[in-house]
Structure 1
């Protein structure tokens, strides 16, 4: 009876061991698939990082262009102010040259 119980426990242990071995193999295969998927995701993230680096470089170039445009706009505004000042001076000179409006003159 003890030998039969021992044989039963050994067969039960063997069956459980085989079942755990089978499950661990399946889990290892699934983990390998998950690792492969993570590798693909990592590759995609690397591609996105490269694209973002290129986008940052483009944005830096755009910032430089906007800075140059701001400088040009400031020079144009300064030129416009100077031109307005000169135009006022010309108007004053013309008004002085023509003199005050004549009144009460008969033609």
Structure 2
């Protein structure tokens, strides 16, 4: 069986294109995963900061409530 040089070249080019696309796809996925890991780390730090602010806000609310005292009653108890 005789295979022409053009057919062999076409098959080789197709294999190299598919290999290149597969390699680029893997590279792209690794790059996106690295970027997502960075964003996840930033979200974790932000979540820690928000939790800290929430805790401090609760402490401020308690301090303000202590300064204001109990709410005035409409009718006094006898």
TM range (shorter): 0.7 to 0.9
Q: Does 1:72 align with 2:55?
A: no
TM (normalized to structure 1)?
0.58
Please identify the structure whose Cα radius of gyration is greater.
1
Counterpart position of 1:57: 34
Rounded to whole Å, the distance in 2 between the matches of 1:91 and 1:31 is 89
Counterpart position of 2:68: 91
Structure 2 residues without counterparts, runs of 5 or longer = 74-78
Structure 1 residues without counterparts, runs of 5 or longer = 1-20, 101-107
TM (normalized to structure 2)?
0.77
RMSD: 2.4
Q: What count of residue pairs does the alignment treat as equivalent?
A: 74
Structure with a larger share of its residues in helix: 1
Q: Does 1:30 align with 2:7?
A: yes
The offset of 1:32, in angstroms, is 4.0
